[in-house]
Amino acid sequence: MEEKEMRRIEGQIRKALSGFYYVASEGKIHQTRARGNFRKKKLTPLVGDEVVFSSEENSEGYILELLPRKNELVRPPVANVDQGVIVTSLVEPNFSYNLLDRFLVTLENNEIHPVIYLSKTDIVSDSTMVEKIRSVYEPLGYPVIDGEQDKKKLTDLFAHQLTVFMGQSGAGKSTLLNDVSPELNLATGEISDALGRGRHTTRHVELLDLFDGLVADTPGFSSIEFLELTVEELPKEFPEFRVAASKCRFRECRHVKEPGCEVKRQVEAGEIAQSRYDNYLQFLQEIEKRRPIYKKK
């Protein structure tokens, strides 16, 4: 009997579940497994990965090769993300410039375009708050969406993008995902934090076709620690610092005590937001004090 010729096809992993990877290619979904040598090479395929896989009629395919990733996130475990929607509550929990800047720095560091989505704007007592936040972030190129006013503005951004959601606990990530796509039926606020870490609540990650783009069906992470960011990288994750730094007297200016620092000049002149600079100094301290991470053998 002649051996069937194996087809090598390119596709994208849309779902990972129980050791199977479901790969979209040429308008179909193919059920595949990863090759055994992936484990030896310490490679784990992620949802969002572009892959080369084999496919035979009426049988399971195999992922043969992972194509280069532009980025990857740990929570949710997704690769090749284009944009991150940071769901930020104005009240209950209260708005925090510090937490928002943490998310922005993390996304910048992964080359993911941030979108700021403000929730609970209809119950905040300070009616000028949305405009204050806009005035800080929109000049930096970050869209700021008032969630109670214009959800369509958000879904218009999904086309041709792979989007993930993130934000503090209780900000309304699951509620928003359910609004955008009712078929998701994500549990909203039913699982306590303690239970949320239990084995019974493990969810698989899946990319859903929504509004001509792909959206990860999981609310993603809610806290940020700068475990891998270096002191050299941090200033480059603030777009306004990147622009100003070309005029600093020193090439690797940290924007702290150096003379002739353009970033500090712009903060004093009100051209860079004081809150952004204060948060930068705090993040810098955290990174400097961080203990070295020793990986277990």
pLDDT tens readout for residues 153-192:
999 999 999 999 998 888 888 888 888 877 666 655 444 4
What are the pLDDT digits (tens) for 203-254? 678 999 999 999 998 878 777 888 889 999 999 999 999 999 999 999 889 9
Q: Is the pLDDT of residue 201 over 60?
A: no
Please check if 42 is assigned to a binding site. no
289 is in an annotated binding site: no
Please tell me the number of Cα atoms within 13 Å of 236 on its side-chain side: 10
Q: What global pTM score does this model have?
A: 0.87
123, amino acid identity: I
What CATH number was assigned to the domain covering residues 7-66?
Answer: 2.40.50.140
Mean pLDDT of 257-286: 97
**φ/ψ (deg, to 5) at 228:** -120, -15
**Nearest to 177, CA basis, from 159, 164, 194:** 164
User: CB–CB of 178/184 below 8 Å?
Assistant: yes
Is 270 assigned a ligand-binding role in the annotation?
A: no
Specify the CATH superfamily of domain 234-289.
Probable gtpase engc; domain 3 (1.10.40.50)
Is 169 annotated among the ligand-binding residues?
Answer: yes
Q: Known binder of ligand: residue 168?
A: yes
Would you say 101 is a known binding-site residue?
no
Which two three-digit tokens encode residue 262?
Answer: 């353009």
Q: Which CATH superfamily, name and number, covers 72-216?
A: P-loop containing nucleotide triphosphate hydrolases (3.40.50.300)
Annotated binding residue at 223?
no
Is 170 annotated as belonging to a binding site? yes
Does the annotation place 255 within a ligand binding site? yes
Is 175 annotated to bind ligand?
yes
Does 119 appear as a known binding residue? yes
Instruction: Indicate where the chain has its CATH 3.40.50.300 domain(s).
Output: 72-216
Does the annotation flag 275 for ligand binding? no
Q: Is 194 exposed, middle or buried (0-12, 13-18, 19+ CB in 10 A)?
A: exposed
172 is in an annotated binding site: yes
Residue limits of CATH 1.10.40.50 in the chain: 234-289
What integer best gives the mean pLDDT of the chain?
87
Name the segment(s) of the chain with CATH classification 2.40.50.140.
7-66
Closest alpha carbon to 86 in 221, 198, 207, 178: 221
What type of residue sits at position 32? T
